Structure 1
């Protein structure tokens, strides 16, 4: 709530206790200006997404134990836990829109959760490069992972710190500073996703330029099924696109501040935040890498790490001659 609003309410003789402790308010005793957001979040919609992310979380735990894809499952697990906490916060806002604690809970967790999902996407790229052949990539598989995970961490820190500052600030200038830090983190996430998409496109163009990869070659490598591999690549692309759209929306939302139109429009939030992240989470859960790589997920990691070591010399790669065979 802005200082101008506080001064006006005080001038009108509004209860000082409720101004100091707005969480004691109800919709009958306090005006909308004291609410953390200007609408009452839909109980049904937010309960649906809470249930969705909880179910996906259970699947991720089960798949992680079954196929030992600890790094991938850990990243998606972190994102889904934050989504669950965020929607619990939104349900609490439905019950009491004047309490700032659930608002902070929802704001920070839902803002940073997709960073964990993109980390899982970045980890997956190195496995796909190894499957197709490291000679076709601009960088070593581990280089892609390290660069973009670092970008992810930097973006996450900016968003988390900015969110905490913005919500706990007691002056407009400090609130604006926190919002600007959050925007910087989200913009950085959009830029890193754009670069990631460009490097992915370059890699797959290189595969196509060399005549594609024969089905027999792929079947001799890590994936259990070529069709499942293509499904996995498609799901990663869909998840990346959804998170990209969502991040652009959040930048636009925060540009207007907490009192702006987008920040107080639940329909837009549900479509461009909840649904986008929901689709991305489904895409990263149901076509799970364990179904494609099995417990060879760790083997792919070892081969990426041993790129210039002993493991590299003993690990088969796709030769240019075989690449030119084309699909069979």
Structure 2
């Protein structure tokens, strides 16, 4: 079978000629199945833990896991029908948008850690952290949704794909700037809190020395999201037909792998096992 330009869309053995698909090269459907399976497991784990410990502030991250799961399921479908640009664009959009919601949850968690440990160590009022960074995250999420909208068109033109990609690039770049500011704030808080802890400045109702356990988990997760954002900026700067976008190994290492680490970290050390709120009073229990 040939397209309008006379290019053979299928190889002699009947398999698709992926050189003429959005993928650029033949992807491994086995990796897509692995991605869908692992994200499904992490999604189920987070839903179960959120229900068990009533950590509703993890809702955004759970939706992020859902988007990642859907992204890899659609990737399987896209590999089986590689000439449909909309399916390729859809899986990209879901996989790209998921981490934005994960970042929103990380902002909320830092505020909770500061509130229940050393509020005075925070460079800004702890309650402003969620307001400032979540608002920033919402803005960048909307920008990325705008870019994704072009990719999700039934039959996007090359110009629309380029425009959507550039908008996504701008959204991720803005998100990374915000996230670097968040990490800087977290580091300043940690240094100040450690100093206060060394002086014995701890109240009975506050976190014990084990507050560092959830803080380090948050930093591991945050660092993974940050590195992933840097990767996506480099990828988009080279375009969907560039050497990075057309080599799925990069995506599975620097996006899939890092995001799995980011969310598995909160399965291994779930906030619900550290921050427990008493219904009658504000209370934190360390296990």
What's the TM-score once normalised by structure 1's chain length? 0.77
CA–CA distance in structure 1, aligned partners of residues 161 and 96 of structure 2: 16
2:141 corresponds to = 156
For residue 118 of structure 1, the aligned residue among 103, 106, 116 is: 103
List per-residue Cα deviations over 1:258-311 (Å, max 9, x = no partner).
Answer: 1111110011111101100010010122211110012359966xx9xxxxxxxx
SS at match of 2:277: helix
List per-residue Cα deviations over 1:13-36 (Å, max 9, x = no partner).
Answer: x69xxxxxxxxx656376435312
Runs of 4 or more off by more than 6 Å in structure 1?
A: none
Larger helix proportion of the pair:
1
2:254 corresponds to = 272
2:267 is the counterpart of 1:285: yes
Relative to structure 1, the CA distance from residue 77 to residue 209 in structure 2 (aligned partners, 3 Å threshold; closer, same or farther) is same
Relative to structure 1, the CA distance from residue 153 to residue 297 in structure 2 (aligned partners, 3 Å threshold; closer, same or farther) is farther
CA–CA distance in structure 2, aligned partners of residues 287 and 29 of structure 1: 45
Relative to structure 1, the CA distance from residue 9 to residue 61 in structure 2 (aligned partners, 3 Å threshold; closer, same or farther) is closer
1:208 corresponds to = 194
List per-residue Cα deviations over 1:190-223 (Å, max 9, x = no partner).
Answer: 1011100111111112223445364x936x3355
For residue 234 of structure 2, the aligned residue among 248, 252, 260 is: 252
2:220 is the counterpart of 1:241: no
Flag the structure with larger Rg.
1
For residue 95 of structure 1, the aligned residue among 71, 75, 80 is: 80
Relative to structure 1, the CA distance from residue 35 to residue 299 in structure 2 (aligned partners, 3 Å threshold; closer, same or farther) is farther
Alignment of 1:54-133 (within 5 A): 54-72=40-58, 74-133=59-118
CA–CA distance in structure 1, aligned partners of residues 128 and 35 of structure 2: 35
CA RMSD of aligned residues (A): 2.6
List per-residue Cα deviations over 1:227-251 (Å, max 9, x = no partner).
Answer: 3x32211111011111111111111
Larger mean CA deviation between 187-196 and 151-160 belongs to 151-160
What's the TM-score once normalised by structure 2's chain length? 0.88
SS at match of 2:205: coil
For residue 169 of structure 2, the aligned residue among 171, 174, 183 is: 183
For residue 48 of structure 1, the aligned residue among 34, 56, 75 is: 34
Alignment check: 8 A CA contact 1:40 1:97 kept? no
Alignment check: 8 A CA contact 1:69 1:297 kept? no
Alignment check: 8 A CA contact 1:68 1:295 kept? no
CA–CA distance in structure 2, aligned partners of residues 267 and 87 of structure 1: 14
CA–CA distance in structure 1, aligned partners of residues 212 and 90 of structure 2: 37
Instruction: Report how far residue 39 of structure 1 moved.
Output: 2.5
Larger mean CA deviation between 177-186 and 43-52 belongs to 43-52
CA–CA distance in structure 2, aligned partners of residues 266 and 298 of structure 1: 51
Alignment check: 8 A CA contact 2:114 2:122 kept? yes
CA–CA distance in structure 1, aligned partners of residues 173 and 193 of structure 2: 30
Aligned residues: 279
Q: Please, which runs of 5 or more residues in structure 1 have no aligned partner?
A: 1-7, 16-24, 304-328
Larger mean CA deviation between 290-299 and 138-147 belongs to 290-299
Q: Please, which runs of 5 or more residues in structure 2 have no aligned partner?
A: none
CA–CA distance in structure 2, aligned partners of residues 147 and 299 of structure 1: 27
